[in-house]
Chains A and B, each alone.
Chain A
């Protein structure tokens, strides 16, 4: 692997990693407030992809849309992804998890429900929209913008990176600086006491799902823009992003970002070193290694009562 190749792959890795980071935040937020691995989050991501596909198909931009039109299309598709993702996450919490929570069901029950919901949703999407992959319509001419250390960056990559960075900064501010963020942190630390202090737990949990869902939905759009939309597109990015959340330290928002970047870079660098076919193994090998030496992840667990 030459140096220029290395830079190419590194840039690709950062791109992919930023996407994983955004998805991982959804996992980590929900884990923070519910101590639940929300396996259905990968379906929130998938629904984000479908949301942007549906809206773009309805608009039907035709060939070669103008630059201004392209900006509008990207914005609309991104918002559609966010809307579908948020709505799916909200519905999931309301229909599947809330009845369990009211009953105080054990965590095993939660996990199995999450798996069942994930199964149901992605197979339903496959049934409704067909099971073959489909690309988003062209929204812009994907030119190279500039190059960093010999690696060309095109519009799609720039869009992906900037959207991910903006979302990560926004979320970090939201969790650490706003009143809602304070409520989320309070519920994560001790739901019972937070409730006694006047925090509306149901509302906070619901909002946490929606925030994670919006991020996941936008990530779904970005992923679909890079690759294609498919009913099972959420599976591999989903479990890799969850692994990223664990690697960074579950419940820890900055940890999820770090873990996402780390796994994205590892995965892309696996391609030139060991071959394309091993790329999806890399994330899990890193996960197992990290857990062996740092059982609570690189930055350590935060938020939840877990210690």
Chain B
């Protein structure tokens, strides 16, 4: 009985206090939220609206706000607001029951999979079987998407995962190493203006490209990794721009804007057995699947090795790691260089498959794309980044008839922001990373190799 009295008393006190504050109606949180939702509705109208043209500056905006979409968008957002403000309880309860209904068993299954190695291997075998047998049943268009984009980006994503997910370094020039790999392929197969000392089979180009990218990564990382974490972001961005401009302007070596053409495919010729990969995507898919599986095995071994643990230590607290005798610069460099060489491998495979490259294949945009795939999937988790790359490459292709392809980067940007605000750990996070992000928010540890959190630890 007494607890009811107390709470009623508290309510009365709270109401009295609220009256004392003398806020106008529009200053109340409820109506401020309404304002925000109306603004969101207007923004949504613009985002989903017409394409503008330079000749008629206000054409698109006028069309958006005179058409019916503005009312639809406003109805959606204001409806959401009303739902939250007036019928919050039942909605929340319904949502909770859905969550416990789906989440409970899902959590149980994932815990079971984690505990039981047989189940885990079974799951991996199942995914592998799908990856092996499914593609031959797809349409040619989707086979090409699978090989030219999904497989390439998956390879890139598992490479970038090391740099950003495990070592916590923000690399905005990751795709530049892809370009280095691509131009190495063109050079060593004799498709650039400069003659190589000896023309090589594409398989031999891979180790060369790996070494080249390792060296480029070391060259770039050595001066910058000693500095504060976020300087790396701007320097790698600059590096990407430099690589792009060299590809575009150094006509004598890179053949300028026209790039390289007729790059040969992979081929094997070992004593009597010879095979050449060709235009057909399926054999290339198996080749790339081989690379992906091989790298995943290698990297998964790395994650739990001494090196992987050093990366974790650096990411969680760089100063503490250094104090415990971890050579932070060495391990950061190592992560950076391993990531770079994975990117290089992807470049070699892509160039061999597609057969031509030009500087426009290496825009800064692509670095950001790979980054967003990794973030979306969940940094630090290999299945996560694979899902992220596969899903986000597939989605725009699947929607290409409904959404203007020019708008896809706008949606991607919005997705990144929303993701960072509501689910920074990604769709399939690694458990460790999830915990770190949470701990960083509570003021313990860093969750990235960038020292203190932005804005200090105040709220």
* Interface positions of B from 431 to 459, Cβ below 8 Å from A: 437, 440-443, 446-448, 450-459
Q: Look across to chain B and name the residue whose beta carbon is closest to the beta carbon of A286.
A: B238
Contact B413 A117 (CB under 8 A): yes
Kindly specify which of B46-54, B105-113, B265-273, B325-333 makes contact with the partner chain: B46-54
Report Cα–Cα, A129/B416, bound state, in Å. Answer: 23
* Chain A at the B interface: SS class: helix
Within the complex, the shortest CB–CB distance from A92 to chain B, in Å, comes to: 10
Q: Look across to chain B and name the residue whose beta carbon is closest to the beta carbon of A295.
A: B227
Q: Look across to chain A and name the residue whose beta carbon is closest to the beta carbon of B240.
A: A284
* Interface positions of A from 69 to 117, Cβ below 8 Å from B: 96, 99-113, 115-117
B55 / chain A contacts, CB cutoff of 8 Å:
130
Q: Look across to chain B and name the residue whose beta carbon is closest to the beta carbon of A195.
A: B458
Report Cα–Cα, A61/B360, bound state, in Å. Answer: 39
Report Cα–Cα, A291/B53, bound state, in Å. Answer: 43
B26 / chain A contacts, CB cutoff of 8 Å:
none
Contact B375 A112 (CB under 8 A): yes
B218 / chain A contacts, CB cutoff of 8 Å:
none
Interchain CB contact (< 8 A) of B416 among A112, A275, A291: A112
Contact A132 B54 (CB under 8 A): yes
Interface check A287, CB cutoff 8 A:
yes
User: Given A130-B53, A306-B228, A106 and B448 touching (CB < 8 A)?
Assistant: yes
Q: Look across to chain A and name the residue whose beta carbon is closest to the beta carbon of B55.
A: A130
Within the complex, the shortest CB–CB distance from B65 to chain A, in Å, comes to: 12
B450 / chain A contacts, CB cutoff of 8 Å:
106-108, 111
* Interface positions of B from 245 to 278, Cβ below 8 Å from A: 245-246, 248-249
Contact A291 B223 (CB under 8 A): yes
A59 / chain B contacts, CB cutoff of 8 Å:
none
Q: Look across to chain B and name the residue whose beta carbon is closest to the beta carbon of A53.
A: B57
Q: Look across to chain B and name the residue whose beta carbon is closest to the beta carbon of A287.
A: B238
A243 / chain B contacts, CB cutoff of 8 Å:
234, 238
User: Given A109-B424, A130-B54, A123 and B410 touching (CB < 8 A)?
Assistant: yes
A295 / chain B contacts, CB cutoff of 8 Å:
226-227
Interchain CB contact (< 8 A) of A191 among B407, B415, B456: B456
Report Cα–Cα, A33/B454, bound state, in Å. Answer: 8
Report Cα–Cα, A192/B417, bound state, in Å. Answer: 26
Interface check B170, CB cutoff 8 A:
yes
User: Given A36-B454, A37-B230, A287-B234, A109 and B420 touching (CB < 8 A)?
Assistant: yes
Report Cα–Cα, A280/B245, bound state, in Å. Answer: 8
Interface check B164, CB cutoff 8 A:
yes
B371 / chain A contacts, CB cutoff of 8 Å:
112, 115
Q: How many residues of A contact B (CB 8 A)?
A: 67
Listed residue (B60, B239, B416, B454) with the most chain A CB atoms within 10 angstroms of its CB: B454
Interface check A242, CB cutoff 8 A:
yes
Contact A277 B410 (CB under 8 A): no
A107 / chain B contacts, CB cutoff of 8 Å:
229-230, 446, 448, 450-454
A119 / chain B contacts, CB cutoff of 8 Å:
368, 409-410, 412-413, 416
Q: List 24 A-B contacts (CB under 8 A).
A: A33-B455, A34-B455, A96-B417, A102-B459, A104-B459, A106-B440, A106-B453, A108-B170, A108-B450, A113-B420, A116-B372, A119-B410, A119-B412, A124-B410, A127-B60, A127-B410, A192-B456, A205-B455, A239-B234, A239-B237, A280-B245, A281-B246, A287-B235, A295-B226
User: Given A106-B453, A127-B52, A112 and B47 touching (CB < 8 A)?
Assistant: no
Interface check A67, CB cutoff 8 A:
no
Interface check A182, CB cutoff 8 A:
no
Interface check B168, CB cutoff 8 A:
yes
A129 / chain B contacts, CB cutoff of 8 Å:
52, 54, 57, 60
Interface check A146, CB cutoff 8 A:
no
Report Cα–Cα, A126/B60, bound state, in Å. Answer: 11
Interface check B414, CB cutoff 8 A:
yes
Interface check B241, CB cutoff 8 A:
yes
Report Cα–Cα, A54/B241, bound state, in Å. Answer: 31
A123 / chain B contacts, CB cutoff of 8 Å:
406-407, 409-410, 413
Within the complex, the shortest CB–CB distance from A106 to chain B, in Å, comes to: 4
User: Given A37-B233, A104-B441, A281-B241, A291 and B224 touching (CB < 8 A)?
Assistant: yes
Interface check B8, CB cutoff 8 A:
no
Interface check A144, CB cutoff 8 A:
no
* Interface positions of A from 269 to 307, Cβ below 8 Å from B: 275, 277-278, 280-281, 283-285, 287-288, 291-292, 295, 305-306
Interface check A118, CB cutoff 8 A:
yes
Interface check B242, CB cutoff 8 A:
yes
Report Cα–Cα, A190/B457, bound state, in Å. Answer: 10
B437 / chain A contacts, CB cutoff of 8 Å:
105-106, 109
